[in-house]
């Protein structure tokens, strides 16, 4: 069936090859059918996806972590977060695990704040950003070993309003943190309907 008026173009993959397979990412080269005929090559970074958590307490303070990120050569202020690298683990369970591992916290109430494709021009990474409330302290899971950059990580409780200002000051530059903090501030003032935590 060909294209016609009002019919969307089908961006079919005509050929695909893996260029590089790493520990976390895979670089793939796809040849894709383009509108009007012809094709074009697209380089795609495949990523398993990630989660991030805005953990907010009864005093409207949020947890921020300062962690070294080698690709940008600097420490960044971030939310508790992690890769979806456990096979078959639902994203909410990953978020709960990361919150316990990195911030030693559990939450009695979870909501899905936002879903973000980090850089859809070349990467398929999807980050699910959660709001965690009714926080309680927990022990670090025995299976989690603090190593590499996480051994240098520091934690800070910051009033939400101050964290939002730090976004506008350019002090917080991590995309998931920016989205999560601004979405939480909006949720606190405008009370939008948030998706349940197990939504996809």
Residue found under tokens 């040849």: 31
Q: Any idea which residues carry the catalytic annotation?
A: 150
Which residues fall within 8 angstroms of residue 128, CB to CB, at 6 or more apart? Answer: 49, 50, 51, 52, 91, 95, 112, 115
Of 150, 153, 107, 161, the C-alpha closest to 130 is: 107
Residue pLDDT, tens place only, 129-177: 999 999 999 998 777 666 656 678 999 999 999 999 999 999 999 999 9
In a 10 Å sphere around its CB, with 0-12 CB exposed, 13-18 middle and 19+ buried, how is residue 123 labelled? middle
Q: Is the pLDDT of residue 5 over 70?
A: no
Q: 148 is written with which tokens? A: 């590499």
Query: Mean pLDDT across the chain, nearest whole number?
Result: 93
Look at residue 1 in the predicted model and tell me its pLDDT: 46
Instruction: Return residue ranges of the chain for CATH 3.90.79.10.
Output: 50-196
Dihedral angle of Cα 144, 145, 151, 157, to the nearest 10 degrees:
20
Residue pLDDT, tens place only, 19-50: 999 999 999 999 999 998 999 999 999 999 99
Please state, in angstroms and rounded to a whole number, the distance separating the CA atoms of residues 161 and 179.
14
Residue pLDDT, tens place only, 66-88: 999 999 999 999 999 999 988 88
Look at residue 36 in the predicted model and tell me its pLDDT: 87
In a 10 Å sphere around its CB, with 0-12 CB exposed, 13-18 middle and 19+ buried, how is residue 21 labelled? exposed
CATH number of 50-196, picked from 3.90.79.10, 3.40.1190.20, 3.10.20.90, 3.20.20.70: 3.90.79.10
Of 87, 106, 88, the C-alpha closest to 96 is: 106
190-199 average pLDDT score: 94
pLDDT category of residue 12 using cuts at 50, 70 and 90: very high
């Amino acid at each position: 069936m060909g294209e016609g008026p009002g019919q969307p173009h089908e961006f079919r993959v005509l050929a695909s090859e893996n260029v590089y397979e790493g520990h976390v990412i895979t670089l793939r080269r796809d040849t894709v059918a383009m509108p009007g005929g012809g094709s074009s090559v697209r380089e795609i970074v495949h990523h398993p996806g990630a989660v991030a958590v805005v953990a907010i307490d009864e005093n409207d303070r949020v947890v921020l972590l300062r962690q070294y990120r080698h690709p940008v050569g600097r420490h960044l202020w971030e939310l508790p977060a992690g890769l979806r690298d456990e096979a078959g683990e639902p994203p909410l369970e990953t978020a709960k695990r990361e919150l316990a591992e990195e911030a030693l916290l559990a939450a009695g109430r979870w909501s899905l704040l936002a879903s973000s494709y980090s850089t859809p021009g070349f990467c398929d990474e999807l980050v699910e950003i959660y709001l965690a409330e009714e926080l309680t302290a927990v022990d670090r899971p025995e299976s989690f070993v603090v190593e590499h950059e996480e051994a240098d990580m520091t934690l800070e409780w910051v009033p939400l309003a101050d964290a939002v200002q730090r976004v506008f000051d350019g002090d917080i530059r991590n995309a998931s943190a920016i989205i999560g903090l601004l979405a939480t501030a909006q949720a606190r003032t405008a009370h939008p309907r948030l998706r349940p935590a197990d939504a996809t």
